[in-house]
Chains A and B, each alone.
Chain A
Amino acid sequence: MPQFKQFPLPDTAEGLTEAEILTWHVKPGDTVTVNQIIVEIETAKAAVELPCPWAGVVTELLAEPGQTVEVGVPIITIDTDPGGSAAPAPAAAAPAAAAPEANGASSGKIGEEMPGGRIATLVGYGPKSGAAKRRARKDAPAAAKVTAPAAPAAPVAPPAPVVAAPVAPPAPAAAPGGYVPLAKPPVRKLAKDLGVDLRALTGSGPDGVITREDVESAVAAPAPAVQSTVDNGSRERRVPIKGVRKATAQAMVDSAFTAPHVTEFLTVDVTPMMELRARLKNAPEFRGVKLTPLAFCAKAVILAARRTPDVNATWDAAANEIVYKDYVHLGIAAATPRGLVVPKVRDADRMSLKELAVALDELATVAREGKTSPADMMNGTITITNVGVFGVDTGTPILNPGESAILALGAIRDMPWVVDGEIKIRKICQLALSFDHRVVDGQQGSQFLADVGALLAEPGIAMTY
């Protein structure tokens, strides 16, 4: 007889409540062995590989990559005795039956569900009765009968949703921020076991405390119609603020509310720069180098910063000093799968154009692979954000905390432009510079932006620096 077992998502660190499925290493029909790595997940703390608890054949994957799953919710079904004849798949109503916490270890006591759906977790996980969070599907009610693959090899359509249907009592929509009903822990446990929502009860005990009798009589009475008329939020998605997102938010708020920002704009005809780029690309010494407009922009920023050191300085409020730097650690804002990171090119002012181009390429590769180390993101002096790669013309960038200027490089487009009194089609680009007005005045900021623009409009100007 096939023996179906379901593997609930474990808490791989201390006190995590959920994780995101990154990659499945197995698919339905695959034979798996004990400790074989079956899936990679990402928690708030780390990307982690999970080993398989049993040998057998994968019957079904219960969560898709990209999906966030609560700890304790089954993510895979494995037939541990695939030799047997076909038998009904496990009833979805008992998802936690085969779960390790069957012996009671670290079950609901700590994981008591609070109003608002928050789970109080310290270590270990509390069992969940619902299935993985996913968007509601039109055919959700029908899914309650669970697609039962006749044979393990039967191709299961990837999106086949097996919502382990909420056969549990009709839990009313969690009311975030609602009051906590008064009841002793044993009574809470009883209510939980019986599926009674304490918030629907009125306590008959002293000071309105809900008693065991209240819970029992509530079970006897017909369930009140809790027909949900309001949209309970199934079309919304709540993602905890954590990791890079949280760090970014903090940095941006800090910056926006400490440094008085000024943003200036400049539209530049960069045709000569693009022509120079085309020529250099064919030059032997630039063979194999990814020479991007960003590299030219970086070079221009470094050269211009030499004439206007204010943009490369730091406002040190604690010391009541402005720190001018004789070096440039150039930050490049990069969009990565993990979020926005700003790795630095160290001592960029000592680099040639070619060295810059190589460094920028490496930086981007490392960042995109999510391998930028925290040390690589520290101690920048000025930043470029290349919004042009998204096809955007310009923006008003927010300073990286601790820096005094950030330049947004917009998309380079073919645009009509007046050259010698005639309209010509030229390569046009917008630059936006935000600076910290505590350190940089309008005169210096404008000078710097004009210098960068001039260098991009006529790279030969660099000869005069």
Chain B
Amino acid sequence: MSSPEQWTHPEPDAAPAATGAKPTAEQVIAGLRATDEGGADLVQLLTPEGERVQHPDFDIDITAEELRGLYRDMVLIRRVDREANALQRKGQLGIWVPLLGQEAAQIGAGRAMRPTDMAFPSYREHGIAWTRGINPTELLGIFRGTDQGTWDPVEKRFHPYTIVIGNQVLNAAGYAMGQKFDGKVGDDEGEATMCFFGDGATSQGDVHEGFVWAAVYDAPLVFFCQNNQWAISEPTERQSRLPLYQRARGYGFPGIRVDGNDVLATLAVTKWALDECRHGNGPILIEAFTYRMDAHTTSDDPTRYRLSDELEMWKLKDPIERVKVYLVRQQWADQEFFAGVEAEADELGEELREFCTNMPDPPAERIFSNVYAEGNPNLDAQRDEFLDYVSGFAGGEH
């Protein structure tokens, strides 16, 4: 699967898709491989053992400094994730959505974006937020239940977290169509949009609709599906008979499966996809084949529905270890560098703890303050009434 022609036109002599009632032995084996390892179409540039491999269509020149940067990103965001998870267990957050295991997919995709590109996250995109320059402390209020995210989505080019499954795909399709209508697409200076969702979301009507609209309007939109194998407790085989990336063919745009635990491959494929989009060849679906190493959220207990040997297998494919091995083998980084990143991570963890335990509650009027860009008399009246009610409590705001 390497040229757009192949994606949009089914191979004429190809055997029937492995959806028949009686698959051949080869199809069964291919299917098993596709389930466990990603299959033959998986784009990979750095193996789990840290070996650099070449790919005919997607390759990338990377400098030592750039790769060290990607490594640092992944280590820091993993620490943010683990620290926030611990903060939830200490009663400081109402809930947390772990990204453990998906660092490469998010850092690779996030670092492929330009500042002018727009991103629409779901609720697990802490790594993308990091690459958009959002301080991780700004994520905590959402999960403490005190705010909806405090960054300016226009300035950061990063939409607020969307909790409703798949809903952001429609928002992104609309936004990308707008980019197209505004003439911001067509050359290397063009803009593009990325939309992030999971394997479970692909079963939502919103995602289907987003695919349809983006396709027929040639919207500059990269659909980035992180297939982490589990939609809470439902495995991917409950979402689709086909590998998810092959769904794109039905909508008439390319679909690529990339090793989501390989930061280099994810970066290369996403850069390519964004470039295609900004030149007017969108949309494109990327399926980042990865694994959710922790629970769906802190309210979930994955031991009730999945086997630990699956987890053990994916531990061997850790996204950070393979980069570390490669850096060492290339002599691109020394012990001092790794220790420095570790120390930086510790500092970040401490900062997060401090911030979270001392986080003030936003004032009551904050509920009303960002609903409309400009004021609204009805809302203002509601606000005044509410503030008056709140002040009825002894000691004012509670």
Contact = CB atoms under 8 A, between A and B. Distances in A.
Tell me the dominant secondary structure on chain B's binding face: loop
B22 interface: no
A277 interface: no
Contacts of B82: 35
Given A8-B91, A103-B359, A103-B360, A51 B301 contact: no
B94 A11 contact: yes
B360 to A, nearest CB: 7
B89 A14 contact: no
A356 to B, nearest CB: 24
Contacts, number: 88
A434 B335 CA distance: 70
B89 A48 contact: yes
Interface stretch (B56-64, B196-204, B285-293, B390-398): B390-398
Given A103-B360, A103-B361, A193-B394, A14 B301 contact: no
B90 A53 contact: yes
Contacts of A123: 94-95, 145
Contact of B305 (A13, A14, A186, A373): A373
A7 interface: yes
Nearest to A125: B91
Contacts of B83: 35
Interface string B367-398: 00000000000000000000000001110001
B310 interface: no
Contact of B394 (A51, A107, A190, A373): A190
Interface string B308-319: 000000000000
Nearest to B92: A100
Chain A at the B interface: SS class = loop
A231 to B, nearest CB: 34
A12 B94 contact: no
Nearest to A49: B89
Contacts of B360: 103
Contact of B89 (A51, A103, A185): A51
Contact of A374 (B90, B304, B392): B304
Contact of A373 (B86, B298, B304, B361): B304
B162 interface: no
B145 A374 contact: no
Given A46-B300, A47-B301, A123-B145, A10 B398 contact: no
B361 A46 contact: no
A100 B94 contact: no
A51 B89 CA distance: 7
Contact of B353 (A34, A103, A125): A34
B393 A13 contact: no
A350 interface: no
A12 B145 contact: no
B398 A12 contact: no
Contact of B86 (A11, A35, A109, A186): A35
A50 interface: yes
A51 B394 CA distance: 36
Interface string B299-342: 11101110100000000000000000000000000000000000
Interface residues of B, number: 32
Contacts of A103: 358-361
A147 interface: no
A50 B89 contact: yes
Given A14-B95, A106-B94, A45 B301 contact: yes
A215 to B, nearest CB: 10
B150 interface: no
Contacts of A190: 393-394
B145 A100 contact: no
B349 to A, nearest CB: 8
Interface in B138-152: 144-146
Given A106-B145, A193-B394, A13 B298 contact: yes
Nearest to A123: B94
Nearest to B353: A34
Nearest to B144: A105
B357 interface: yes
Interface in A292-324: none
Contacts of A193: 394
A56 interface: no
B43 to A, nearest CB: 33
Contacts of B90: 7, 10, 50-51, 53, 100
B299 A14 contact: yes
A104 interface: yes
Contacts of A413: none
Nearest to A7: B90
Contacts of B168: none
A51 B84 CA distance: 11
14 contacts: A10-B90, A12-B89, A12-B298, A34-B353, A46-B301, A100-B92, A104-B361, A105-B145, A105-B146, A123-B94, A186-B392, A186-B393, A189-B394, A374-B305
Closest 7 pairs between A and B when the two form their complex, measured CB to CB:
A10-B91, A46-B301, A13-B299, A123-B94, A51-B86, A186-B392, A53-B90
Given A46-B299, A189-B398, 10 more contacts: A11-B94, A12-B88, A12-B298, A45-B301, A46-B300, A51-B90, A100-B357, A103-B360, A371-B303, A373-B305
Interface of B: 82-83, 86, 88-92, 94-95, 144-146, 295, 298-301, 303-305, 307, 353, 357-361, 392-394, 398
